[in-house]
Chains A and B, each alone.
Chain A
């Protein structure tokens, strides 16, 4: 079975600083997608960033970037210049790859607190 692990239940950062959220996953596929979703107090799930496993270049979206280490099955999220609005629960997710399109597994989540 596919697994995704977020080992940091909670993280905190000062406003304008940088923070990195960790995620590891386990899959036997060679081609798959990885995601980070943000869940603010409103509970809405918001896509932050997506990485395709066959692309070696790390994905970036403005202040958000990932460090994708395929051999180590690691997919960390770096938030630069943290803002108060970044405070949320963050979920890492992975699809099963191969022919199992639509079957996704998420980690347990990391609560990020941003201090002014």
Chain B
């Protein structure tokens, strides 16, 4: 079954404690992306990746890092989380015609 998985699904952490949200896809897509969803702001793109070792900033990259060492994985790294990064995060694998295949989402609370 074609799918995008994210872990963890829920996370509560404290300010400054580094965390990583993993994302994996089994569709062999070259493109992958990270979004955050906030009330009234919709989904905003954080970073996207065109292939292994190739990434680019989206609209809200500040405070985030990504890496793409393998085609199937695209982890999102928050090296020093702050409360304004409390959000719902989605990973997506991008298929033909720019169709986004979304993961189930990760709800993050930073205290």
Which chain A positions have C-beta within 8 A of B41?
Answer: 108
- B102-A91 in contact (CB<8A): no
A43 touches which of B33, B40, B88 (Cβ 8 Å) = B88
Docked Cα-Cα span, A109 to B40, in Å, equals 7
- B56-A43 in contact (CB<8A): no
B42 touches which of A1, A33, A43, A108 (Cβ 8 Å) = A108
Chain A CB within 10 Å, residue with most, of B43, B49, B104: B43
User: Which DSSP category, helix, strand, loop or mixed, fits chain B's interface?
Assistant: strand
Docked Cα-Cα span, A6 to B100, in Å, equals 19
Q: Which residues of B contact A (CB under 8 A)?
A: 31, 33, 35, 40-45, 48-50, 56, 58-59, 88, 90, 92, 94, 97-100, 102, 104-105
Q: Which residues of A contact B (CB under 8 A)?
A: 1, 4, 6, 9, 33, 35, 37, 43-45, 47, 50, 52, 91, 93, 95, 101-109
